[in-house]
């Protein structure tokens, strides 16, 4: 074990002695720090901020992966090179799979567990999406639950989920307000932001990213969108109060 660490140490020395490689690594780290700093600026849209965050993670993963690719049997010793490379590759692969799960698999699982709605709520969402110029309206799904709840997902095709419990307790205008709030999230790109914020939240202490502020900002924008379409926030606020009870 110590022998292997010593080998790795000398391999690292060799890697860092190469000025081209060192420059690339330093450039990656500096860009990563710049991007996370830029992503904190809430004036950028959620789409841009999440792009910055994904790029930040990719740039952070670059140095260890780059180092792993330069390892050869001569430097580390025949049997250990595979192990070290595997370890250095496992972290990025796990992260990518985790993000793919959040971005693609979770929305798919929600779809499979719900029934498509093809009545007035889908028509309402189609109409509003047309008005906004979205090239494809999100699908509306019904969740078989008595609890009043609503949420939406991004992924390859955005979708909105509303429970039967919600349809039971809200009025028509209140349901429309909730659908508009979710449409606001989809239009804004909140869904790409969610898994990356969740990941970075685990990596960094609170002040670096301020995840609570990110979530609050997305909710504020979705609320503002619904209120601007309805020209009042009365229905949305009533709906929220009812659903929180």
Partner 1 sequence: MVKQSDVVNETLSPLESAILEALWQSGESKVRDIFQKIKTKNPCAQSSVAVTLDRLYERKLVRRTITTGRGGLAYIYSTCLSKDEFRKSLAQQAVDRIVERFGESAVSYFNEKYRK
Whole-angstrom distance, CA of residue 140 vs CA of residue 123: 9
If the CB atoms of residues 54 and 161 are measured against partner 1, the closer one turns out to be 161
Within 10 angstroms of residue 47's Cβ, the number of other Cβ atoms is 14
Shortest distance, position 184 Cβ to partner 1, whole Å: 22
Residues that bind Zn ion (CB under 5 A): 219, 222
Please report how many Cα atoms fall inside a 13 Å half-sphere around the Cα of residue 107, on the Cβ side. Answer: 22
* Min CB(180)–partner 1 separation in Å: 18
Q: Closest by alpha carbon to 162, among 102, 126, 116?
A: 116
Nearest to 221 by CA among 80, 17, 58, 49: 49
Q: Does the protein bind partner 1 through residue 164 (CB under 8 A)? A: yes
DSSP assignment letter at 160 = E
Least distance (Å) from partner 1 to the CB of residue 172?
9
Question: How many residues lie near partner 1 (CB under 8 A)?
Answer: 16
Q: Which residues contact 174 (CB under 8 A, 6 or more apart)?
A: 235, 236, 238, 239, 242
Q: Do residues 80 and 4 lie in contact, with contact meaning Cβ atoms separated by under 8 Å?
A: yes
- Decide whether 11 or 140 has the Cβ nearer to partner 1: 140
User: Binding of partner 1 at residue 65 (CB under 8 A)?
Assistant: no
Nearer of residues 84 and 152 to Zn ion, judged by Cβ: 152
Site residues (CB under 8 A) for partner 1, limited to 89-148 = 119-120, 142, 144-148
**In the complex, residue closest to Zn ion by CB:** 222
Question: Applying CB under 8 A, which residues contact partner 1?
Answer: 119-120, 142, 144-148, 164-165, 167-169, 242-243, 245
């Amino acid at each position: 074990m110590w022998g292997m660490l010593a080998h790795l140490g000398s391999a690292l020395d060799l890697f860092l002695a190469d000025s081209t490689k060192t420059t690339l690594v330093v450039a990656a780290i500096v860009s990563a720090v710049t991007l996370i700093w830029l992503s904190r600026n809430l004036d950028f849209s959620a789409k841009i901020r999440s792009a910055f965050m994904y790029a930040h993670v990719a740039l952070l993963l670059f140095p260890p992966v780059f180092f792993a690719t330069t390892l050869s049997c001569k430097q580390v010793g025949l049997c250990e090179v595979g192990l070290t490379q595997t370890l250095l590759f496992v972290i990025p692969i796990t992260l990518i799979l985790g993000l793919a799960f959040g971005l693609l698999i979770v929305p798919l699982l929600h779809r499979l567990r719900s029934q498509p709605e093809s009545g007035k709520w889908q028509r309402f969402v189609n109409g509003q999406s047309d008005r906004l110029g979205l090239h494809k309206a999100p699908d509306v799904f019904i969740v078989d639950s008595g609890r009043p709840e609503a949420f939406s997902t991004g992924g390859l095709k955005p979708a909105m989920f509303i429970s039967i419990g919600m349809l039971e307790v809200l009025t028509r205008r209140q349901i429309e307000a909730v659908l508009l709030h979710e449409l606001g999230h989809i239009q804004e790109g909140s869904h790409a932001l969610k898994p990356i914020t969740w990941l970075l939240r685990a990596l960094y202490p609170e002040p670096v990213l301020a995840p609570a502020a990110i979530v609050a900002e997305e909710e504020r924008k979705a609320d503002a969108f619904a209120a601007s379409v309805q020209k009042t926030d009365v229905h949305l606020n009533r709906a929220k109060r009812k659903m929180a009870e």
